[in-house]
Structure 1
Amino acid sequence: MVTKRVRVGLAAAGVASIGLLFPAVALAEDGAPASSADSTASSGDTADPREERRESRKERMEERQGELAASLAEELGVSEDKVKAALEKIRGEKQEERKAEREERLSERLEKAVSEGKLTQEQADAVLEAAKEGVLPGGRGGGPGRAHG
């Protein structure tokens, strides 16, 4: 009985720690596709130091998540693939929640700007659509690249 409680506690702690780490991965993934860093490195051009750090963080994060999944799988007596699938499912759900929250906050700000006469409804709709498509700085992931000014 105590062993089962310990396992459940470890699983909960593992899931919670992954939940705290996902935003960092999301920011790293949203900066640029991994293939662009690979193509830059292979073409002989010097890569952007920020992109290199982002890529390095992403690799370390993936390594830690793999280790965590292996540990959880062993502790819970389930396959590592099953743990990884569960963690990916949770990550996807959390990313969708955060995206919906960002869009809602933006929509509220745009509605206020329209009501104050700072934007037309057409402009607000265009901004919201651009944000949904990831065209604006800080688009898909928010975070780095926010508009300056």
Structure 2
Amino acid sequence: SMVTDDFTFDKSLVDIVPVYSKSISKEAQDLINEINLKYDLDIKYWETSAVLHLASSKMAKENKDWYGPLSIDEKGGNNFAISFENHKPSIELTKRWITMIYPDLNLDKEIDKLVKNINMEYVFEKGRHKIKMGQTANYKGWRIYIGE
């Protein structure tokens, strides 16, 4: 199954938020399956409502049952923020997810730089996109804002 047992889904939001509809597409599901196979994981959709969350029980940390390798938070129109953890599958999934949503945007080098320089924040433009990258508020991962 591609969803957790307690999966939450809000179709009305998926219908009006382009990044969410792309994130549940066959292409997105194939990408999840590819990462699962490569790293022997069980990444699934956990929530698709105000925020889209993926989860994996095999990546669980501390006392959590599930681990969130990737989250997407829409910011109006085609703008969104993507959050991810410092875990090789999360980093690879994030790089490929961004390119899936925006084929003209490859942030692989910038993400590698972000991961190596933990306390840095980057603000720049790439093509038609405005990018802001830095640590999440809890300092356990990173957040990338992508705007137009």
TM over 0.5: no
Give the number of the structure with larger relative contact order, counting CA–CA contacts within 8 Å between residues 6 or more apart. Answer: 1
- Computing the radius of gyration over CA atoms, which structure comes out larger, 1 or 2? 1
Q: 1 or 2, which has the higher helix percentage? A: 1
Q: 1 or 2, which has the higher strand percentage? A: 2
Q: TM-score, normalised by structure 2?
A: 0.24
Q: TM-score, normalised by structure 1?
A: 0.24
